[in-house]
Structure 1
Amino acid sequence: MISDSFSLMRGGPVYRVMHGLGVIRPGVPTAPLVAVLLVAVAFVPLAFFAMGERMLLPGQGGIALLGDYAVLARLLVAIPILVFAAAPSDDVLRGAMRYVGRSGLVPEIEHARFEAIVHRARALRDSSVPEVLCALIAVGSAFWTNAHFSHVEGLSHWALDADGTLSKAGAWFAWVAAPVFRFVGLIWIWRFLLWAYVLWRLSRLHLSLHAAHPDGAGGLGFLSPTQARFAVMSFTGGCLVSGDVLVRMVYANGQLQQVQWELIGYIVGSTLLIFAPLLCMLPRMASIRRRGLLDLGALGQRAATAFDERWRPTSKEGGESLLESPNPSAIADFTAMYGTARSMSVVPVNRMTLLAAAFLAALPFLPALLHAISIDELLQRLLGVLA
């Protein structure tokens, strides 16, 4: 089927350029090569310039490059993570589309519309316009953002000369390193929006959903772990926020308590944002649940009435034993089916996946937490909670 070969990541002008250059070849580990190349372009010249200006290593006065956690988070953490996460995420998303096409979710009458959705998604993925816009935004943002955002008043900064103008390292960061980081992040945002578009189009189909489906989501339970693949975006975003917080804590005597509510807001907000595209399924799933409960309720009424008439005490004795009859087992099975329909989620997100994504968004803040609280104190507080 056409959905079997659908890929969210393997397309677009950047992919075609890399394929043409031989970077993408069967049997060649593409992600390590691309990650090393991007880090080499973004960070190695930056480190060379900072070393020439004696602002590479911490302890040389002011905020050195290797002590600027905000920049390190962007160039040495976020870029490699986003590159390495692309292929595994694409495999999961491709498997989800293959499941939609082959599982019976799409009725025969809707196959043409489903194929049109896949064709449209491929056309958007392969279009040059979105990635060109991402590149223009990545480079153009250098005109209205500064390269010394982690500067602390009263301290020298690796991106600035003594007269306050950009140093060679600062210029490289502003015009090369930062645009590389922004472009990688914007490509991920574009793929996220493209997948959201696919989900929205799928929600317009008359999918074959069932309130009593064992997955508790009408048959769309597979979308929860699929959508969770985008939690890598909230993780890398958390790395950026954590780096900025660490700079303020280390160099400006900032306190974690001053930003705790902002951090909690980021964790909750980024997690909900990752799963927000699944809300487009809510109207359809709510309708399926409501209709399923009504149908099962009517069927249950007839089943309960028949059971009561068959086994009421006034029925004639000497017939079939209740213990040997299949009727009680059938009623129990029907009760379980009704319970599944009643507990059906109207949004295909399960609690464990949501908590796992929130944990991934919170994980980057561990260094800031350990800087504010010693490990011994942290363990004592945890033991106090568990005691």
Structure 2
Amino acid sequence: MLFVGLAWFVPLLLGLPRSFLAADTPGSYLGDLGVWARFVVGIGAFVLAEQQVERGLRIKLGQFLKAPLIAPGSVAPFAEAVTTALARRDSRVAEAICLVLAIIAGVVAFANTHTATVSSWAVEVSADGNRLTATAWWMVFVSQPLFVFLLLRGLWRHFVWAQLLRRIAGLELRLVATHPDGNGGLAFLASYPNAYALFIFGVSAAIGAAIAKHLLQESLTSTTFSMIAGGWLVVVLALFAYPLSAFSKPLGQLKERSLLMLGTQATRYHRSNERKILGTNVVAVSTDEAQQQADDIADPTKQFETTRKLSAMLLNRSAIVPVAAAALLPIAAAGATILPYKEVFSVLKKLLLL
């Protein structure tokens, strides 16, 4: 892949012959977990994820019209919201800002090399002072900015998608409380975070590598590892909960109104059945009501029970296991460098089953 070649392979060539030092040699390029995680796994995942994300979101968006879930009066606002989102997604200004921030991040990443006491692939330590290698200069202006740019652009595009979903949630939607998906017809949205599994894996790989490097000088307990992994999982889930939470209001209102209407119908139906069986109502006998026949009123019991089970929360465990696993596996790999595999697996299992 072109981007991986630019970010990882070119620096490898610039660092010859030192680049081919054994991976277990201190300061070697091939032995730097951060380099592998950011410029091979991270950039590779970001690039591959882009098409996967676009395809996944396009399918989800199309479902609103295929169902159709958009009320006739909201079709025009829906189209306007989509057009605005596409313009923001492809905004040159937004990409320029991401690029500037990426360049700044590249410079900052190597700003403390003057404190190094041992030579490595990034810095040469001598009596005259520390000097960045050709590999490091490439990292400053190409590799690191490329990684950060792809990361920021991916986050920006997700923010645009999140805003689009929140705007759609405010439109008039053709929801039905008894829909078999248990979410009024919106359950298809619950799995959209899985389109970002590769993207999240790339971010987690970089974080996991940073944790692993830190653990080379520090000890780690199972409790601390659980807090780190759990905290990162919360951040990831919050990223996707933000847009999905906007649908909790219309779903909650749908459930409330449906239960009230079905409850009213159930009262009429069962009081009518009561008169049919007993000849009269047990309480609040009414002459006008007595003229109603049970056969004229539909039984809403099944609809009422189904509506009671409707969930206003779209984010659920079963729908997001793939993206949760993508977030946790690199962190688990970092923890496994210090902790026994059984403890790491136990923590991972508990977090995925929450």
Provide the residue aligned with 1:361 in structure 2.
327
1:88 pairs with one of 52, 60, 65: 52
In the alignment, the residues of structure 2 paired with residue 147 and residue 75 of structure 1 have an alpha-carbon distance, to the nearest angstrom, of: 19
Superposed displacement of residue 357, structure 1 = 2.9
Q: Aligned ranges for residues 64-79 of structure 1 at < 5 Å?
A: 64-79=28-43
2:275 pairs with one of 309, 332, 350: 309
In the alignment, the residues of structure 2 paired with residue 314 and residue 301 of structure 1 have an alpha-carbon distance, to the nearest angstrom, of: 15
In the alignment, the residues of structure 2 paired with residue 53 and residue 241 of structure 1 have an alpha-carbon distance, to the nearest angstrom, of: 26
Kindly indicate whether the alpha-carbon contact (under 8 Å) linking 1:160 and 1:170 is maintained by their aligned counterparts in 2.
Answer: yes
Provide the residue aligned with 2:89 in structure 1.
125
Kindly indicate whether the alpha-carbon contact (under 8 Å) linking 2:106 and 2:139 is maintained by their aligned counterparts in 1.
Answer: no
1:100 pairs with 2:72: no
Superposed displacement of residue 245, structure 1 = 1.6
Which sits farther off after the overlay, 203-212 or 188-197?
203-212
Provide the residue aligned with 1:40 in structure 2.
5
1:146 pairs with 2:110: yes
Kindly indicate whether the alpha-carbon contact (under 8 Å) linking 1:147 and 1:170 is maintained by their aligned counterparts in 2.
Answer: no
Query: CA 1:56–1:299 in structure 2 vs 1: closer, same or farther (change >3 Å)?
Result: farther
Superposed displacement of residue 206, structure 1 = 0.9
In the alignment, the residues of structure 2 paired with residue 209 and residue 202 of structure 1 have an alpha-carbon distance, to the nearest angstrom, of: 13
Kindly indicate whether the alpha-carbon contact (under 8 Å) linking 2:73 and 2:172 is maintained by their aligned counterparts in 1.
Answer: no
1:235 pairs with 2:198: no
Which letter maps to 1:159?
A
Which letter maps to 1:45?
V
In the alignment, the residues of structure 1 paired with residue 208 and residue 118 of structure 2 have an alpha-carbon distance, to the nearest angstrom, of: 21
SS in 2 for 1:339: helix
Provide the residue aligned with 1:221 in structure 2.
187
Superposed displacement of residue 196, structure 1 = 0.8
SS in 1 for 2:15: helix
Identity value in percent: 27
SS in 1 for 2:264: helix
Superposed displacement of residue 111, structure 1 = 1.4
1:342 pairs with 2:308: yes
TM-score, structure 1 length as denominator?
Answer: 0.76
Provide the residue aligned with 1:199 in structure 2.
165
Provide the residue aligned with 1:270 in structure 2.
236
In the alignment, the residues of structure 2 paired with residue 64 and residue 348 of structure 1 have an alpha-carbon distance, to the nearest angstrom, of: 47
- Superposed CA offset, 1:7-63 (max 9, x none): xxxxxxxxxxxxxxxxxxxxxxxxxxxxx1001111112112333345743233x23
In the alignment, the residues of structure 1 paired with residue 265 and residue 197 of structure 2 have an alpha-carbon distance, to the nearest angstrom, of: 42
TM-score, structure 2 length as denominator?
Answer: 0.83
Superposed displacement of residue 94, structure 1 = 0.9
In the alignment, the residues of structure 1 paired with residue 342 and residue 79 of structure 2 have an alpha-carbon distance, to the nearest angstrom, of: 58
Kindly indicate whether the alpha-carbon contact (under 8 Å) linking 2:176 and 2:185 is maintained by their aligned counterparts in 1.
Answer: yes
- The runs of 5 or more residues in structure 1 that have no matched partner are 1-35, 316-325, 383-387
Which sits farther off after the overlay, 40-49 or 335-344?
335-344
In the alignment, the residues of structure 1 paired with residue 328 and residue 347 of structure 2 have an alpha-carbon distance, to the nearest angstrom, of: 18
- Superposed CA offset, 1:262-305 (max 9, x none): 23211222122223211122222221121111111111212222
Kindly indicate whether the alpha-carbon contact (under 8 Å) linking 1:160 and 1:166 is maintained by their aligned counterparts in 2.
Answer: yes
Superposed displacement of residue 375, structure 1 = 4.8
Superposed displacement of residue 234, structure 1 = 2.9
In the alignment, the residues of structure 2 paired with residue 196 and residue 376 of structure 1 have an alpha-carbon distance, to the nearest angstrom, of: 38
In the alignment, the residues of structure 2 paired with residue 52 and residue 147 of structure 1 have an alpha-carbon distance, to the nearest angstrom, of: 25
1:161 pairs with one of 124, 135, 157: 124
Provide the residue aligned with 2:264 in structure 1.
298
Provide the residue aligned with 1:280 in structure 2.
246
Query: CA 1:286–1:378 in structure 2 vs 1: closer, same or farther (change >3 Å)?
Result: closer
Provide the residue aligned with 2:284 in structure 1.
none
Superposed displacement of residue 202, structure 1 = 0.5
Query: CA 1:374–1:259 in structure 2 vs 1: closer, same or farther (change >3 Å)?
Result: closer
Kindly indicate whether the alpha-carbon contact (under 8 Å) linking 1:215 and 1:221 is maintained by their aligned counterparts in 2.
Answer: yes
Kindly indicate whether the alpha-carbon contact (under 8 Å) linking 1:92 and 1:226 is maintained by their aligned counterparts in 2.
Answer: yes
Which sits farther off after the overlay, 104-113 or 138-147?
138-147
In the alignment, the residues of structure 1 paired with residue 163 and residue 316 of structure 2 have an alpha-carbon distance, to the nearest angstrom, of: 21
Superposed displacement of residue 232, structure 1 = 3.4
1:170 pairs with 2:133: no
Kindly indicate whether the alpha-carbon contact (under 8 Å) linking 2:220 and 2:339 is maintained by their aligned counterparts in 1.
Answer: no
Kindly indicate whether the alpha-carbon contact (under 8 Å) linking 1:231 and 1:271 is maintained by their aligned counterparts in 2.
Answer: no
Query: CA 1:378–1:228 in structure 2 vs 1: closer, same or farther (change >3 Å)?
Result: closer
Superposed displacement of residue 74, structure 1 = 0.5
In the alignment, the residues of structure 2 paired with residue 94 and residue 115 of structure 1 have an alpha-carbon distance, to the nearest angstrom, of: 14
Kindly indicate whether the alpha-carbon contact (under 8 Å) linking 1:213 and 1:219 is maintained by their aligned counterparts in 2.
Answer: yes
